[in-house]
A = this chain, B = another copy of it.
Amino acid sequence: MSESTTRLKRATIFDVAAEAGVSRGTVSRVLNGEPYVSAAAREAIEAAIAKVGYVRNTAARNLAKQSSGAIALIVHEPDSVFIDDPNIGAILLGANAALSAADYQLVSLIIDTERDSHRVTGYLGGGFVDGAIIVSAREDDPISQAIADLRLPAVMVGRPDNQPQLPWVGIDNRGAARQITERLRGTGRNRVGMIAAGLDRDSGRDRLAGFREAMGEAFDDTLVARQRFYTYAAGVAGMAELLRIDPDIDGVFAASDAIAAGALETLRNAGRAVPRDVGIVGFDDSSWALRAQPALSTVRQPAGQLGARAAELVLEQVRTGSLASNGALLSTEVVWRDSA
């Protein structure tokens, strides 16, 4: 009676062994699907497991096996802007699918404050996970250093500047930026600028570099509006700045679709028609691209594959202790729609 109200002690292998009339060793063997167990024993044990309601204590298992079967995915967005990042969800889903196929558990950790950063470091060192995927780390990220110290198998999504020894997967931001800028220029624009963002990460800097390359001689640094975040608001502000600097601007490469959408609003309010007066292209091919008016020409980023590939590389390290290659570049695709 009182059993049902007080918190019952959870059954252990001991209880199962006693119930089935065998030793703990044998129970452990059937639990792990090992051979050399008689059918009779197996049956008795399975019945006992069901009867006593046994579930394995993974903390104990981890301790004994020195591994956890889990991989962390760390999202580091100290400014809480990741809510609007269209890629992170897809990266997560891709990583989850790849790990799931290998029967690993993905656990996502978010770092929002300095305090989070410390706590997560402790968590990573605590045997909770066998490896880690780091998303959207910034230049000065303490986590990547901590991971290196812990010798925890890890891979970054995006190319790390300060941790050259960390394996990574990413896209060729520079090449993609160059391609779409060239295409934009090809529509006969003469004065083309850029709304850049995220210049504290490699992705942001590389997109700017690609733009500069594509512009060649025509590059004009005053026509680069530098914003902090990849947001709609940044697009609104950045476009206003560009119009102020050069009212005759007729082409804009926005560092993200959200920025492009914001720029569209500014242009609309300024009475400029897109693509007639001004051609604009974005980056990501997120949901912003299709919903914008007009629909955005942009670069498709294989976010899901990014996550999946990162997961595979972590698993390779976990299993073999090392990695065949040290980085992977996934290919992008220019998607041409109506905005330029």
Q: Residues of A at under 8 Å CB distance from B?
A: 7-8, 53, 55-63, 68, 70, 80, 82-84, 86, 89-90, 92-93, 96-97, 100, 103, 105-110, 112-113, 115-116, 119-120, 122-123, 125-128, 149-151, 232, 261, 265, 287, 291, 293, 321
Contacting residues, chain B, for A150 (C-beta < 8 A): 55
- Verify A90–B83 contact, CB threshold 8 A: yes
Q: List 14 A-B contacts (CB under 8 A).
A: A56-B126, A57-B127, A59-B63, A59-B127, A70-B128, A80-B93, A93-B112, A96-B116, A100-B112, A105-B123, A107-B108, A108-B108, A261-B291, A265-B291
Q: State in angstroms the CA–CA spacing of A62 and B123 once bound together.
A: 12
> Shortest 5 CB-CB distances between A and B: which pairs?
A58-B126, A83-B89, A59-B127, A108-B108, A59-B62
Contacting residues, chain B, for A103 (C-beta < 8 A): 119
Q: State in angstroms the CA–CA spacing of A127 and B82 once bound together.
A: 30
Contacting residues, chain B, for A56 (C-beta < 8 A): 122, 125-126
Q: State in angstroms the CA–CA spacing of A322 and B255 once bound together.
A: 50
How far apart are A307's CB and chain B's nearest CB, in angstroms? 11
Interface of A, helix, strand, loop or mixed by DSSP: helix
- Verify A93–B110 contact, CB threshold 8 A: yes
How far apart are A287's CB and chain B's nearest CB, in angstroms? 6
A288 closest partner in B (C-beta): B291
Contacting residues, chain B, for A128 (C-beta < 8 A): 58-59, 68, 70, 128
- Verify A123–B7 contact, CB threshold 8 A: no
Q: Known contacts being A126-B57, A127-B58, is A110 close to B110, with CB within 8 Å?
A: no
Given A59-B128, A105-B123, 18 additional A-B pairs, CB 8 A: A56-B125, A58-B122, A58-B126, A60-B127, A68-B128, A80-B93, A83-B89, A84-B287, A96-B112, A100-B113, A100-B116, A106-B109, A107-B107, A107-B108, A107-B109, A232-B287, A232-B291, A261-B291
Q: State in angstroms the CA–CA spacing of A178 and B144 once bound together.
A: 50
Q: Known contacts being A59-B63, A112-B96, A287-B232, is A105 close to B120, with CB within 8 Å?
A: yes
Contacting residues, chain B, for A287 (C-beta < 8 A): 84, 232
Q: State in angstroms the CA–CA spacing of A338 and B65 once bound together.
A: 61
Q: State in angstroms the CA–CA spacing of A297 and B100 once bound together.
A: 41
Contacting residues, chain B, for A116 (C-beta < 8 A): 96, 100
- Verify A110–B108 contact, CB threshold 8 A: yes
- Verify A7–B321 contact, CB threshold 8 A: yes
How far apart are A42's CB and chain B's nearest CB, in angstroms? 20
